[in-house]
Amino acid sequence: MPTYRILPAAAHNELVRKAYQHRGYTAAEAEDGARFCEMAATHGIRTHNAIKALHLDHLFGSAVGGCKPGAEIKVIEKKFAASEVWDAQLKLGQSVAFRAMERCMELADQYGIGQVSVDNAFHYLWGGGYVMEAAKKGYIAYTNCTSTLGEVVPFGGKFPVLGTNPHSWGLPTTDSAGFPIVIDWATSTVAMGRVQQLRRENKPLPPGAAVDAEGNPTTDPHAAQWLLPFGAHKGYGLSLLIEVMGALIGGSLPTIRGGGGHPDFKDKPLPAGEKRTSSFYFQVIHPDAIGSGLFAKGRNQAENVKAVLQDILGHGNENCMLPGQPEADNAKHTAKAGGLLFSDAEVAALNEIAEECGFAKFEAEQLPSYEV
């Protein structure tokens, strides 16, 4: 059973806020950053916690002009009442995503459905968190984004051109299942954040997840250079969908996005007139907008959802897990522990962030432990 250190959420959030403000972000942006990182840690999302968020910002964000602290979102006028298009102008991705999902919910309350597309964006990290929050409020929510770098080799190919391009759905099933169903995954077998996590922990990758610099399959996270799509052609197709949606929104060539991942493009001057930013898409549906009311046996909508889930998990399938259950279970562990859970390696990584911004380091051996 893994053992973690318990870090008080207040101390964690204070560190994250200070780190973002140290890099020039506004107090509001720093608060969004802390809110997101606490949400990720609470639900056990080790691949996209504060360590990943601030590492991504350092590599591709505020340090190199890929994200601009204090930037303001510009709304691009459109004729469609339930749709909005935003130019994020390189604003912090978490701040943009929180606002976009909130706006989608407002539109869904008015029109039954709402969508916001975002151009010139910087990665928002864990999409599952945004749709989970909306689902907890009773909405059907979806988001996708083109990831910062082209680091996934397409099915049948050999050169990394696709982002890890995650899809995230949230369904309002708290009353029926005890938690919102959250279907959230990168279209690669694993996210690059997972590779980085396994490097820290010196643990192997699953087979079929990555290749080395020569294109040979590897389970060694230290040798892994590029990722592979999950499900062969199926994951490739879902990743391609996001690339094309991103192109429709305004995104450009995936090989140069984020400055380029492959040595053929990395650190090379951006071609004149080109752009390297990500694109986001958000959608929220009000359940009443799609319900026919013609439910069997006089059930209402919520009762019908519960009956369907019970049928799926019956007939010998009682041990099957619903998507979102691991996150809900991790949140219970966090609540029981009374703080956020981090491995010793993660505490060390947080201390590197603390050193950067002049925050007091955490003494791992003095933090209480918790066994999962």
Quick one: 163 and 282 in the same domain? yes
Quick one: 117 and 175 in the same domain? yes
Reported as a single tens digit per residue, the pLDDT across 235-286 is: 999 999 999 999 999 999 999 999 888 889 988 899 999 999 999 999 999 9
Decide if 220 is inside a domain. Answer: no
Token pair for residue 46? Answer: 């080790």
Nearest to 63 by CA among 124, 34, 20: 20
CB 362 within 8 A of CB 347: yes
Check residue 261 and give its pLDDT: 87
Reported as a single tens digit per residue, the pLDDT across 49-102 is: 999 999 999 999 999 999 999 999 999 999 999 999 999 999 999 999 999 999
Quick one: 43 and 184 in the same domain? no
Decide if 233 is inside a domain. Answer: yes
Quick one: 142 and 26 in the same domain? no
Reported as a single tens digit per residue, the pLDDT across 23-52 is: 999 999 999 999 999 999 999 999 899 999
Quick one: 164 and 237 in the same domain? yes
Quick one: 134 and 167 in the same domain? yes
State the chain's mean pLDDT as an integer: 96
CATH number for position 13: 1.10.1530.10
Decide if 210 is inside a domain. Answer: no
Decide if 196 is inside a domain. Answer: no
**pTM above threshold 0.85:** yes
Quick one: 160 and 263 in the same domain? yes
Using CA atoms, how far apart are residues 210 and 225, in angstroms rounded to an integer?
A: 7
Decide if 195 is inside a domain. Answer: no
Domain extent for 39: 1-63+339-372
Percent of the chain with pLDDT over 90: 91
- Given a cut of 90, is residue 1 above it in pLDDT? no
CB 41 within 8 A of CB 340: yes
- Given a cut of 90, is residue 368 above it in pLDDT? yes
Decide if 250 is inside a domain. Answer: yes
Decide if 38 is inside a domain. Answer: yes
| Number of domains composing the chain | 2
Check residue 53 and give its pLDDT: 97
